[in-house]
Amino acid sequence: MSNIVCFGEVLWDVFSTYKKIGGAPLNVALRLNSFNDNVTMISCVGDDANGKALLVYAEKEGLDNSHIQINKEFKTSEVIVSLDNTGSASYKIEFPCAWDYIVINDPILDSVKSADAFIFGSLIARNNISYNTLLELLDGALFKVFDVNLRSPHYTIGILKELMERADFIKFNDDELFEISRNLGFNSDDLQKNIEFISKKTKTDTICVTRGGNGAILYIDETFYNNTGYKVLVADTVGAGDSFLASLIHKLLKRETPQNAIDFACAAGALVASNFGAYPKISNKAIFELIKGSG
């Protein structure tokens, strides 16, 4: 069992006919928790019905929510989610909201310092309060996992570069990798060359890039590991990348081989995409059956 802290946004994903609790760091935390890791969530909700319901849900799922702060001035976040005819999602994210105002304190610092991994994303850096808290927490973190989630207009290349340089592990999707590389002056259509460029530019030796239905590629210590994906009928892609990251980190922290880790993560992400919502229940048995069934 690994001790993991996730930092960032917690929110409600609002679809056309329903809403579900989400936010990339929370989705990652929930999936890690389902693998019996010891997971703490650091975030902030409003003093409102949505915030209370979110706290109850996190506790019911077994997460340590003692570091989810309550802000009386700003409301719990809601994100409007639109799905196209392939199940791919786009997002309208309100600003500001409660998770833009996560404040530093000694208990969350201690929690991060004692963790095997500290997982954070790029969206939380859009406001100075939470961003400055993040920078302080990074100073004390042992293994820093940066989950790049480009949500226009909520990012700048300068901040992304700083966070990549602070990270020990960076996860992108392929579009994000190419966009950031171009903005840093590297123009190539070769995925592996872009990964090597980012690794050298940021001095980060572990990078993972997801490729939607085409699987993912993992780069560790100048070696590439590939998975070409698992064929499923896509319901929606919300949260698939988050479960992928949680599954990958879970296996890597258990010292599984990189190939086994990326195979497991791709299967978990595919199963999530075959269900509706960011956190459908999936079992280890289902993950291994998908891997085995794909040969």
Residues with Cβ < 8 Å from 205, sequence gap 6 or more? 199, 219, 220, 221, 222
Task: State the sign of the Cα–Cα–Cα–Cα dihedral 242, 248, 250, 252.
Answer: negative
Per-residue H/E/C for 74-142: CCCEEEEEEECCCCCEEEEECCCCHHHHCCCCHHHHHHHHCCCEEEEECHHHHCHHHHHHHHHHHHHCC
Question: DSSP string covering 187-210, please?
Answer: --S-HHHHHHHHHHHHT-SEEEEE
Under 8 Å between Cβ of 6 and 39: yes
pLDDT in tens, 29-88: 999 999 999 999 999 999 999 999 999 999 999 899 999 999 999 999 999 988 787 767
Under 8 Å between Cβ of 19 and 43: no
Domains and CATH numbers, the chain: 3-293 (3.40.1190.20)
Q: What is the DSSP letter of 212?
A: G
Reply yes or no on whether the pLDDT at 7 is more than 70.
yes
Q: How far apart are CA 259 and CA 226, in angstroms?
A: 7
**Residue 126 CA to its chain's centroid (Å):** 16
Residue 11: CB atoms within 10 Å:
28
Average pLDDT, the chain: 94
Q: How far apart are CA 286 and CA 134, in angstroms?
A: 35
Tell me what the mean pLDDT of segment 83-100 comes to. 85
Q: How confident is the model at residue 139 (pLDDT cuts 50, 70, 90)?
A: very high
Under 8 Å between Cβ of 216 and 265: yes
Query: What is this structure's pTM?
Result: 0.94
Q: How confident is the model at residue 12 (pLDDT cuts 50, 70, 90)?
A: very high
Reply yes or no on whether the pLDDT at 185 is more than 90.
yes
